[in-house]
Amino acid sequence: MRVTRAIVAVVVVLSAGVLAGSANAAGPSPFVVVNGTIQPATGTPLPPSGTHATLWHNGSHALTTVLGPGTLVLGAIGDHCDGWPVVRVSVDGSPVGEVTVDSTTDYGSHQVGAALPAGQHTVRVDLVNDRFTGQCDRNVHLAYARVESAPVVDTRFSFAVVPDTQEEVLTASDTRLRQRVDWLVAQRAALDLRFVTHSGDVVNYDTPDHVQYVRAAAALRPLETVGVPYTLAIGNHDGQVFGPDGERRSPAGPLLRDTTVFNRYFTAERFGGVQGRFESGKVDNAYATYAAGGVRWLVLTLELWPRRAAVAWAQAVVAAHPRHNVVVVTHHYLESDATIGQSAGFGSTSPQYLYDNLIRRYPNIRMVFSGHTGTAASRVDTGVHGNRIYSFLQTFHSRRTNPVRLVEVDTAANSLRTWIYAPYTAENFPAHDRTYGGIGLVR
Protein backbone atom coordinates (compact mmCIF):
# COMPACT_ATOMS: atom_id res chain seq x y z
CA MET A 1 0.00 0.00 0.00
CA ARG A 2 3.00 2.36 -0.15
CA VAL A 3 1.91 3.62 -3.59
CA THR A 4 -1.30 4.78 -1.95
CA ARG A 5 0.75 6.58 0.68
CA ALA A 6 2.78 8.39 -1.97
CA ILE A 7 -0.33 9.60 -3.77
CA VAL A 8 -2.48 10.55 -0.81
CA ALA A 9 -1.12 13.67 0.88
CA VAL A 10 -4.10 14.31 3.12
CA VAL A 11 -6.08 12.26 5.60
CA VAL A 12 -8.52 9.99 3.75
CA VAL A 13 -11.87 9.33 5.35
CA LEU A 14 -13.94 6.65 3.58
CA SER A 15 -17.24 5.75 5.17
CA ALA A 16 -20.03 3.27 4.52
CA GLY A 17 -20.86 2.77 0.87
CA VAL A 18 -17.60 4.24 -0.52
CA LEU A 19 -15.21 1.81 -2.20
CA ALA A 20 -11.91 3.19 -3.46
CA GLY A 21 -11.42 2.32 -7.12
CA SER A 22 -14.62 0.27 -7.50
CA ALA A 23 -18.32 0.84 -7.97
CA ASN A 24 -19.28 -2.84 -7.59
CA ALA A 25 -19.28 -3.42 -3.83
CA ALA A 26 -21.81 -6.05 -2.73
CA GLY A 27 -22.92 -3.80 0.13
CA PRO A 28 -21.77 -0.85 2.23
CA SER A 29 -18.62 -1.24 4.29
CA PRO A 30 -19.29 -1.44 8.04
CA PHE A 31 -16.20 0.69 8.70
CA VAL A 32 -15.32 4.36 8.65
CA VAL A 33 -11.59 4.53 7.88
CA VAL A 34 -9.10 7.30 8.70
CA ASN A 35 -5.79 7.27 6.83
CA GLY A 36 -6.75 4.06 5.06
CA THR A 37 -8.88 2.74 2.24
CA ILE A 38 -11.81 0.47 1.55
CA GLN A 39 -10.61 -2.25 -0.83
CA PRO A 40 -12.16 -5.28 -2.57
CA ALA A 41 -11.97 -8.24 -0.20
CA THR A 42 -9.22 -10.76 -0.95
CA GLY A 43 -9.59 -13.15 2.00
CA THR A 44 -12.08 -15.86 2.88
CA PRO A 45 -14.85 -16.19 3.77
CA LEU A 46 -16.03 -13.26 1.65
CA PRO A 47 -17.64 -10.60 3.88
CA PRO A 48 -21.18 -9.44 2.99
CA SER A 49 -19.87 -6.06 1.81
CA GLY A 50 -17.36 -7.68 -0.54
CA THR A 51 -14.76 -5.29 0.92
CA HIS A 52 -12.26 -4.91 3.69
CA ALA A 53 -10.85 -1.82 5.38
CA THR A 54 -7.10 -1.45 4.90
CA LEU A 55 -4.95 0.21 7.56
CA TRP A 56 -1.45 0.92 6.32
CA HIS A 57 0.40 2.89 8.98
CA ASN A 58 0.31 3.68 12.68
CA GLY A 59 -1.84 6.75 12.03
CA SER A 60 -4.56 4.58 10.46
CA HIS A 61 -7.67 3.50 12.28
CA ALA A 62 -11.14 2.18 11.56
CA LEU A 63 -14.43 2.80 13.37
CA THR A 64 -17.60 0.73 13.46
CA THR A 65 -20.49 -0.07 15.82
CA VAL A 66 -21.65 -3.40 17.25
CA LEU A 67 -24.57 -4.53 19.39
CA GLY A 68 -24.03 -6.48 22.62
CA PRO A 69 -24.19 -8.56 24.68
CA GLY A 70 -21.44 -11.01 23.78
CA THR A 71 -17.79 -11.34 22.85
CA LEU A 72 -16.24 -8.92 20.35
CA VAL A 73 -14.81 -10.79 17.36
CA LEU A 74 -12.61 -9.15 14.72
CA GLY A 75 -12.24 -10.65 11.23
CA ALA A 76 -8.97 -9.63 9.59
CA ILE A 77 -6.07 -10.72 7.41
CA GLY A 78 -2.55 -9.29 7.45
CA ASP A 79 0.49 -8.74 5.26
CA HIS A 80 3.57 -10.36 6.81
CA CYS A 81 6.71 -8.18 6.86
CA ASP A 82 9.34 -9.34 9.37
CA GLY A 83 6.36 -10.22 11.55
CA TRP A 84 2.58 -10.02 11.54
CA PRO A 85 0.54 -6.83 12.03
CA VAL A 86 -0.83 -6.06 15.48
CA VAL A 87 -3.97 -4.00 16.05
CA ARG A 88 -5.14 -2.31 19.23
CA VAL A 89 -8.88 -2.48 19.83
CA SER A 90 -10.88 0.02 21.89
CA VAL A 91 -14.56 -0.14 22.80
CA ASP A 92 -16.45 3.03 23.75
CA GLY A 93 -13.14 4.86 24.11
CA SER A 94 -11.40 2.32 26.37
CA PRO A 95 -8.67 -0.10 25.18
CA VAL A 96 -9.77 -3.73 25.50
CA GLY A 97 -6.82 -5.60 24.00
CA GLU A 98 -4.47 -6.24 21.09
CA VAL A 99 -4.70 -8.85 18.33
CA THR A 100 -1.93 -10.33 16.19
CA VAL A 101 -3.35 -10.95 12.71
CA ASP A 102 -1.48 -14.04 11.55
CA SER A 103 -3.05 -15.10 8.25
CA THR A 104 -2.93 -13.67 4.73
CA THR A 105 -5.98 -15.59 3.54
CA ASP A 106 -8.40 -16.45 6.35
CA TYR A 107 -10.27 -13.58 8.00
CA GLY A 108 -10.60 -15.86 11.01
CA SER A 109 -12.25 -14.93 14.29
CA HIS A 110 -9.99 -12.97 16.60
CA GLN A 111 -11.70 -12.65 19.99
CA VAL A 112 -10.70 -9.60 21.97
CA GLY A 113 -11.60 -8.22 25.38
CA ALA A 114 -14.17 -9.26 27.96
CA ALA A 115 -17.80 -9.90 27.09
CA LEU A 116 -19.69 -6.71 26.22
CA PRO A 117 -22.96 -5.77 27.91
CA ALA A 118 -26.20 -5.21 26.03
CA GLY A 119 -26.48 -2.11 23.89
CA GLN A 120 -24.63 -0.36 21.07
CA HIS A 121 -20.86 -0.01 21.29
CA THR A 122 -18.35 1.98 19.24
CA VAL A 123 -15.31 -0.05 18.20
CA ARG A 124 -12.03 1.50 17.11
CA VAL A 125 -9.17 -0.52 15.56
CA ASP A 126 -5.65 0.96 15.26
CA LEU A 127 -2.62 -0.54 13.51
CA VAL A 128 0.24 -0.24 16.02
CA ASN A 129 3.32 -1.91 14.49
CA ASP A 130 3.62 -0.63 10.92
CA ARG A 131 6.73 -1.70 8.99
CA PHE A 132 7.96 -1.07 5.42
CA THR A 133 11.31 -2.30 4.08
CA GLY A 134 11.09 -1.81 0.31
CA GLN A 135 10.72 -5.57 -0.04
CA CYS A 136 7.61 -5.94 2.13
CA ASP A 137 4.86 -3.83 3.64
CA ARG A 138 3.02 -4.72 6.87
CA ASN A 139 -0.69 -3.82 6.56
CA VAL A 140 -3.91 -5.10 8.07
CA HIS A 141 -7.26 -5.60 6.32
CA LEU A 142 -10.48 -5.63 8.41
CA ALA A 143 -13.48 -7.58 7.11
CA TYR A 144 -15.83 -7.25 10.07
CA ALA A 145 -16.25 -6.57 13.76
CA ARG A 146 -19.19 -8.29 15.41
CA VAL A 147 -20.47 -9.61 18.71
CA GLU A 148 -20.93 -13.34 19.19
CA SER A 149 -22.56 -15.22 22.02
CA ALA A 150 -19.96 -17.26 23.84
CA PRO A 151 -20.16 -20.83 22.51
CA VAL A 152 -20.22 -23.78 24.85
CA VAL A 153 -16.65 -25.08 24.70
CA ASP A 154 -15.54 -28.52 25.85
CA THR A 155 -12.39 -27.40 27.63
CA ARG A 156 -10.97 -30.84 28.38
CA PHE A 157 -9.46 -33.12 25.73
CA SER A 158 -6.53 -35.46 25.25
CA PHE A 159 -3.84 -36.46 22.80
CA ALA A 160 -1.61 -39.54 22.73
CA VAL A 161 2.14 -40.01 22.26
CA VAL A 162 3.25 -43.44 21.06
CA PRO A 163 6.84 -44.40 22.06
CA ASP A 164 9.39 -46.42 20.08
CA THR A 165 7.56 -49.32 18.42
CA GLN A 166 10.55 -50.93 16.70
CA GLU A 167 10.13 -54.12 18.75
CA GLU A 168 6.48 -54.42 17.72
CA VAL A 169 6.88 -54.90 13.96
CA LEU A 170 9.45 -57.68 13.84
CA THR A 171 6.99 -60.52 13.27
CA ALA A 172 3.55 -60.83 11.72
CA SER A 173 2.24 -62.47 14.89
CA ASP A 174 3.02 -59.43 17.08
CA THR A 175 -0.26 -57.52 17.40
CA ARG A 176 0.79 -54.94 20.00
CA LEU A 177 1.00 -51.93 17.68
CA ARG A 178 -2.39 -52.62 16.10
CA GLN A 179 -3.93 -53.43 19.49
CA ARG A 180 -2.75 -50.08 20.88
CA VAL A 181 -4.20 -48.23 17.89
CA ASP A 182 -7.48 -50.14 18.13
CA TRP A 183 -7.68 -49.30 21.83
CA LEU A 184 -7.09 -45.59 21.14
CA VAL A 185 -9.82 -45.61 18.51
CA ALA A 186 -12.23 -47.42 20.85
CA GLN A 187 -11.47 -44.94 23.65
CA ARG A 188 -11.49 -41.78 21.56
CA ALA A 189 -14.89 -40.62 22.88
CA ALA A 190 -14.07 -41.39 26.52
CA LEU A 191 -10.69 -39.66 26.21
CA ASP A 192 -11.95 -36.95 23.84
CA LEU A 193 -8.88 -37.93 21.80
CA ARG A 194 -7.99 -35.25 19.24
CA PHE A 195 -4.51 -36.16 18.01
CA VAL A 196 -1.93 -38.97 18.06
CA THR A 197 1.79 -38.52 17.56
CA HIS A 198 4.77 -40.91 17.64
CA SER A 199 8.22 -40.03 18.97
CA GLY A 200 10.16 -42.12 16.44
CA ASP A 201 11.68 -45.52 15.68
CA VAL A 202 8.43 -46.67 14.16
CA VAL A 203 10.31 -49.66 12.69
CA ASN A 204 13.54 -51.45 13.61
CA TYR A 205 15.28 -51.83 10.24
CA ASP A 206 14.57 -52.09 6.54
CA THR A 207 14.43 -55.31 4.51
CA PRO A 208 14.20 -55.90 0.75
CA ASP A 209 10.42 -56.36 1.03
CA HIS A 210 10.02 -53.42 3.48
CA VAL A 211 7.76 -55.65 5.56
CA GLN A 212 8.20 -53.71 8.81
CA TYR A 213 6.93 -50.55 7.14
CA VAL A 214 4.03 -52.54 5.71
CA ARG A 215 3.08 -53.81 9.18
CA ALA A 216 3.36 -50.38 10.79
CA ALA A 217 1.32 -48.71 8.05
CA ALA A 218 -1.43 -51.31 8.37
CA ALA A 219 -1.48 -51.01 12.16
CA LEU A 220 -1.98 -47.23 11.99
CA ARG A 221 -4.73 -47.36 9.38
CA PRO A 222 -7.64 -47.32 11.91
CA LEU A 223 -6.70 -43.77 12.91
CA GLU A 224 -7.23 -42.68 9.32
CA THR A 225 -10.50 -44.60 9.05
CA VAL A 226 -12.08 -42.70 11.97
CA GLY A 227 -10.42 -39.39 11.10
CA VAL A 228 -8.03 -38.97 14.04
CA PRO A 229 -5.05 -36.97 12.71
CA TYR A 230 -1.56 -38.19 13.56
CA THR A 231 2.12 -37.58 12.85
CA LEU A 232 5.28 -39.67 13.13
CA ALA A 233 8.74 -38.42 14.07
CA ILE A 234 11.58 -40.18 12.30
CA GLY A 235 14.08 -42.07 14.46
CA ASN A 236 17.51 -43.49 13.76
CA HIS A 237 15.91 -46.83 12.84
CA ASP A 238 13.44 -45.31 10.36
CA GLY A 239 15.92 -44.42 7.63
CA GLN A 240 18.54 -46.63 6.02
CA VAL A 241 21.17 -46.67 8.79
CA PHE A 242 20.09 -50.14 9.86
CA GLY A 243 19.74 -52.84 7.24
CA PRO A 244 18.45 -56.43 7.38
CA ASP A 245 18.87 -58.09 10.78
CA GLY A 246 19.60 -54.70 12.33
CA GLU A 247 23.14 -54.27 11.02
CA ARG A 248 24.38 -50.70 11.25
CA ARG A 249 25.59 -49.55 7.88
CA SER A 250 28.03 -46.83 6.88
CA PRO A 251 28.21 -43.91 6.29
CA ALA A 252 25.60 -43.39 9.00
CA GLY A 253 25.14 -39.64 8.49
CA PRO A 254 23.88 -39.70 4.89
CA LEU A 255 21.90 -42.90 5.52
CA LEU A 256 20.11 -41.21 8.43
CA ARG A 257 18.64 -38.73 5.96
CA ASP A 258 17.71 -41.42 3.43
CA THR A 259 14.03 -41.73 4.35
CA THR A 260 12.78 -42.65 0.90
CA VAL A 261 11.13 -45.88 2.03
CA PHE A 262 9.59 -44.28 5.12
CA ASN A 263 8.04 -41.54 2.98
CA ARG A 264 6.67 -44.12 0.57
CA TYR A 265 4.56 -45.67 3.34
CA PHE A 266 3.79 -42.59 5.44
CA THR A 267 2.59 -39.41 3.75
CA ALA A 268 1.12 -36.08 4.75
CA GLU A 269 -2.12 -37.12 3.07
CA ARG A 270 -2.35 -40.18 5.31
CA PHE A 271 -1.60 -38.19 8.45
CA GLY A 272 -4.35 -35.61 7.99
CA GLY A 273 -3.94 -32.13 9.44
CA VAL A 274 -0.48 -31.48 7.98
CA GLN A 275 -0.22 -27.83 6.91
CA GLY A 276 3.41 -27.54 5.85
CA ARG A 277 6.70 -29.38 5.32
CA PHE A 278 10.36 -28.43 5.17
CA GLU A 279 10.92 -30.54 2.06
CA SER A 280 8.34 -31.30 -0.59
CA GLY A 281 7.17 -34.90 -0.61
CA LYS A 282 8.74 -35.70 2.77
CA VAL A 283 7.31 -35.79 6.30
CA ASP A 284 10.72 -35.74 8.04
CA ASN A 285 10.00 -32.17 9.17
CA ALA A 286 6.34 -31.20 9.11
CA TYR A 287 3.69 -29.41 11.12
CA ALA A 288 0.02 -30.13 11.67
CA THR A 289 -2.64 -27.94 13.26
CA TYR A 290 -5.91 -28.59 15.03
CA ALA A 291 -8.26 -26.86 17.47
CA ALA A 292 -9.27 -28.31 20.84
CA GLY A 293 -10.39 -26.94 24.17
CA GLY A 294 -11.20 -23.62 22.54
CA VAL A 295 -7.55 -22.93 21.63
CA ARG A 296 -5.27 -23.62 18.65
CA TRP A 297 -2.58 -26.32 18.57
CA LEU A 298 0.40 -26.90 16.29
CA VAL A 299 2.30 -30.21 16.34
CA LEU A 300 5.82 -29.78 14.94
CA THR A 301 7.68 -33.01 14.10
CA LEU A 302 11.41 -32.63 13.49
CA GLU A 303 14.00 -35.02 12.10
CA LEU A 304 16.50 -36.63 14.47
CA TRP A 305 19.49 -34.38 15.29
CA PRO A 306 18.13 -31.89 12.77
CA ARG A 307 20.03 -29.99 10.15
CA ARG A 308 20.47 -26.29 10.86
CA ALA A 309 18.30 -25.45 7.85
CA ALA A 310 15.50 -27.59 9.31
CA VAL A 311 15.78 -25.74 12.63
CA ALA A 312 15.62 -22.40 10.78
CA TRP A 313 12.48 -23.61 9.00
CA ALA A 314 10.98 -24.61 12.36
CA GLN A 315 11.76 -21.14 13.75
CA ALA A 316 9.83 -19.56 10.87
CA VAL A 317 6.87 -21.91 11.41
CA VAL A 318 6.59 -21.14 15.12
CA ALA A 319 7.05 -17.39 14.58
CA ALA A 320 4.30 -17.40 11.95
CA HIS A 321 1.81 -19.04 14.35
CA PRO A 322 1.98 -16.94 17.53
CA ARG A 323 -1.58 -17.83 18.56
CA HIS A 324 -0.98 -21.60 18.41
CA ASN A 325 0.23 -23.66 21.35
CA VAL A 326 3.18 -25.55 19.92
CA VAL A 327 4.04 -29.18 20.69
CA VAL A 328 7.46 -30.31 19.40
CA VAL A 329 8.09 -34.01 18.70
CA THR A 330 11.55 -35.30 17.84
CA HIS A 331 13.21 -38.65 18.43
CA HIS A 332 16.07 -37.62 20.73
CA TYR A 333 15.75 -34.73 23.16
CA LEU A 334 15.73 -35.92 26.80
CA GLU A 335 18.14 -38.45 28.22
CA SER A 336 17.04 -41.17 30.64
CA ASP A 337 17.93 -38.93 33.62
CA ALA A 338 15.75 -36.09 32.23
CA THR A 339 18.71 -33.95 31.15
CA ILE A 340 18.74 -32.45 27.67
CA GLY A 341 20.96 -34.45 25.33
CA GLN A 342 24.34 -33.04 24.36
CA SER A 343 25.33 -35.33 21.48
CA ALA A 344 24.51 -34.87 17.81
CA GLY A 345 24.93 -38.61 17.28
CA PHE A 346 25.50 -39.17 13.59
CA GLY A 347 23.25 -36.25 12.68
CA SER A 348 23.80 -32.50 12.47
CA THR A 349 22.86 -30.79 15.75
CA SER A 350 22.36 -31.83 19.37
CA PRO A 351 19.20 -31.63 21.48
CA GLN A 352 20.90 -28.79 23.37
CA TYR A 353 21.25 -26.91 20.08
CA LEU A 354 17.55 -27.46 19.45
CA TYR A 355 16.71 -26.15 22.92
CA ASP A 356 18.93 -23.07 22.57
CA ASN A 357 17.84 -22.16 19.04
CA LEU A 358 14.16 -23.14 19.02
CA ILE A 359 12.55 -24.52 22.16
CA ARG A 360 13.50 -21.76 24.62
CA ARG A 361 13.15 -18.86 22.19
CA TYR A 362 9.40 -18.76 21.47
CA PRO A 363 6.72 -17.99 24.06
CA ASN A 364 4.11 -20.30 22.52
CA ILE A 365 6.16 -23.53 22.68
CA ARG A 366 4.46 -25.54 25.40
CA MET A 367 5.62 -29.18 25.26
CA VAL A 368 8.35 -31.41 23.84
CA PHE A 369 8.14 -35.19 23.41
CA SER A 370 10.97 -37.58 22.59
CA GLY A 371 12.08 -41.22 22.78
CA HIS A 372 15.29 -43.01 21.77
CA THR A 373 16.80 -43.69 25.20
CA GLY A 374 15.85 -44.86 28.67
CA THR A 375 12.29 -45.60 29.75
CA ALA A 376 10.39 -42.44 30.73
CA ALA A 377 11.25 -39.08 32.29
CA SER A 378 10.11 -35.45 32.41
CA ARG A 379 11.37 -31.95 33.12
CA VAL A 380 10.12 -28.36 33.16
CA ASP A 381 12.16 -25.48 31.76
CA THR A 382 11.51 -21.76 31.54
CA GLY A 383 11.88 -20.09 28.15
CA VAL A 384 13.38 -16.67 27.55
CA HIS A 385 9.89 -15.13 27.64
CA GLY A 386 9.09 -16.65 31.03
CA ASN A 387 6.91 -19.42 29.61
CA ARG A 388 7.09 -22.92 31.07
CA ILE A 389 8.14 -25.73 28.71
CA TYR A 390 7.04 -29.26 29.68
CA SER A 391 9.24 -32.02 28.21
CA PHE A 392 8.53 -35.75 28.34
CA LEU A 393 10.51 -38.83 27.43
CA GLN A 394 8.79 -42.12 26.63
CA THR A 395 10.76 -44.94 25.05
CA PHE A 396 10.38 -48.30 26.90
CA HIS A 397 11.58 -50.58 24.04
CA SER A 398 9.17 -53.10 25.51
CA ARG A 399 9.15 -56.72 24.32
CA ARG A 400 6.02 -57.70 26.25
CA THR A 401 3.50 -54.83 26.22
CA ASN A 402 2.66 -51.56 24.46
CA PRO A 403 2.80 -48.38 26.55
CA VAL A 404 1.32 -45.12 25.32
CA ARG A 405 1.57 -41.70 26.95
CA LEU A 406 -1.78 -39.94 27.31
CA VAL A 407 -1.92 -36.18 27.86
CA GLU A 408 -5.11 -34.53 29.09
CA VAL A 409 -5.34 -30.76 28.78
CA ASP A 410 -7.97 -28.68 30.56
CA THR A 411 -7.96 -25.22 29.00
CA ALA A 412 -10.40 -23.81 31.58
CA ALA A 413 -8.18 -24.92 34.44
CA ASN A 414 -5.02 -24.07 32.44
CA SER A 415 -3.60 -27.46 33.39
CA LEU A 416 -2.28 -30.72 31.98
CA ARG A 417 -2.19 -34.25 33.31
CA THR A 418 -0.20 -37.08 31.78
CA TRP A 419 0.02 -40.78 32.48
CA ILE A 420 1.27 -43.93 30.73
CA TYR A 421 -0.93 -46.95 30.11
CA ALA A 422 -0.33 -50.23 28.25
CA PRO A 423 -3.61 -51.61 26.87
CA TYR A 424 -2.07 -54.95 25.86
CA THR A 425 -1.54 -55.92 29.49
CA ALA A 426 -3.95 -53.38 31.06
CA GLU A 427 -0.94 -51.99 32.91
CA ASN A 428 -0.40 -48.60 34.54
CA PHE A 429 2.94 -46.90 35.24
CA PRO A 430 2.09 -44.53 38.10
CA ALA A 431 5.71 -43.53 38.70
CA HIS A 432 5.45 -41.45 35.50
CA ASP A 433 2.15 -39.69 36.27
CA ARG A 434 2.50 -35.91 36.24
CA THR A 435 0.07 -33.01 36.78
CA TYR A 436 0.88 -29.34 36.15
CA GLY A 437 -1.20 -26.22 36.69
CA GLY A 438 -0.76 -22.71 35.35
CA ILE A 439 0.67 -23.93 32.05
CA GLY A 440 0.07 -20.57 30.35
CA LEU A 441 -1.84 -21.50 27.23
CA VAL A 442 -1.93 -19.02 24.34
CA ARG A 443 -5.51 -18.04 23.52
| Burial (Cβ within 10 Å: 0-12, 13-18, ≥19) of residue 125 | buried
What are the structural domain ranges in the chain? 2-148, 156-437
- Per the CB < 8 A criterion, the answer to whether 74 and 51 are in contact is no
Cα torsion angle, 79, 84, 90, 91, sign: positive
Per-residue 3-state assignment (H helix, E strand, C coil) for 6-25? HHCCCCCEECCCCCCCCCCC
* The predicted structure's pLDDT at residue 23: 33
Give per-residue pLDDT as tens, 35-91.
999 999 999 999 999 999 999 999 999 999 999 999 999 999 999 999 999 999 999
Fold of 156-437: Purple Acid Phosphatase; chain A, domain 2 (3.60.21)
Architecture of domain 2-148: Sandwich (2.60)
* The predicted structure's pLDDT at residue 61: 97
Q: What are phi and psi of 89, to 5 degrees?
A: -115, 130
Residue environment code for 346-372, b if the CB has 16+ CB neighbours within 10 A, otherwise e: bbbbbbbbbbebbbbebebbbbbbbbb
Q: Is the pTM of this model over 0.85?
A: no
CA distance 19 to 12: 12
Give per-residue pLDDT as tens, 288-322.
999 999 999 999 999 999 999 999 999 999 999 99
Would you say the CATH fold of 156-437 matches that of 2-148? no
Strand partners, 86: 100
Strand partners, 78: 140
Contacts of 184 (CB under 8 A, 6+ apart): 160, 191, 193, 196, 223, 228, 404
